[in-house]
Amino acid sequence: MPPIKPGISLIDAVYNEDSGIRGMYLMGFNIVASLPNRRRVEEFLSNLDLLVVQDIAMSETAEFAHYVLPAALWIEREGSVLSLDRLVKWRHKVRDPPGEAKPDLEIIFELANAFGLKGFSNDPKVIFNEMRQVVPIMRSVTLEDVMDPTKDSRVPENTPHLYSEKFLTPSGKARFFGVEYRPVNTGGKRFILVTGRSVLRYNTDNEIRRISGKFETSVVINPEDAMTLGISNGQLVRLVSNCGEGVFKALISNDVPRGVIFAYMHDSRINYVVCTEFDPYVKTPRYKVTPVDILPI
């Protein structure tokens, strides 16, 4: 049965020293490369009694693991896929996994058996039918339709879903409220570091960086700021925040305004610089606003 009480969040587990978490099992989640204040994350993982990482390739997080379970790629396993457009299709296996790698479903099944747990299956068709029992929007889609490429196995538009007619408020209407702007305390730092994505890369680069060729990683600086600081294009610079620092190559460009430094989040070193500050409600890290100084090397 799914849990009926909220558990501890990942943020509270990692950053709250009194969380009491002594072990962690991560599936396809490279938290060393994706969470802020990387030194804190590395310290947390180093102190765990047990860390299990299940992934398709070694990652910065897997380097801290006591056990690494090699998982299969999506083309090395089969099962259903539910798209955001409510289309459900069957993904067929193209090839067998290499070496000791296994599909996630198979790994979980074997672990469950080792612990003496009942009710688990390693058959993706059985899992699909179980999903149909517990997920209301899946009940109108059959396995036969999903596996037939000629059929539009889409969840019907008239399937009940949240907020199509009203919101869960006494009036049935949505409630909007203003959010107070809180000025950033720069702590004397001169620049604001903003991290973002490249269309050519994906999340922590754990797979893409393994392809032939090498992605050049730079921090982007406005030309006027670069001139004031005496920084030339391609020069190494040091970013320093209130929680850490890192050395990067400078890329001078008008793509950023004065006072702003941009860095790609795919380079996990940048999280040595991004500090541990979170939205008070949803616990989202403040990746877009980190006060920094930039020093030429």
For the chain, which domains are there? 10-75+92-134 (3.40.50.740), 191-296 (2.40.40.20)
The pLDDT value given to residue 216: 64
The pLDDT value given to residue 61: 96
The pLDDT value given to residue 211: 73
Segment-wise mean pLDDT, segments of 10 residues, the chain, 297 residues: 81 91 95 94 97 95 97 94 88 95 96 94 94 86 89 76 86 90 86 88 73 74 96 95 94 95 90 90 88 95
The pLDDT value given to residue 151: 82
What the block records as the tokens of 295 is 């020093």
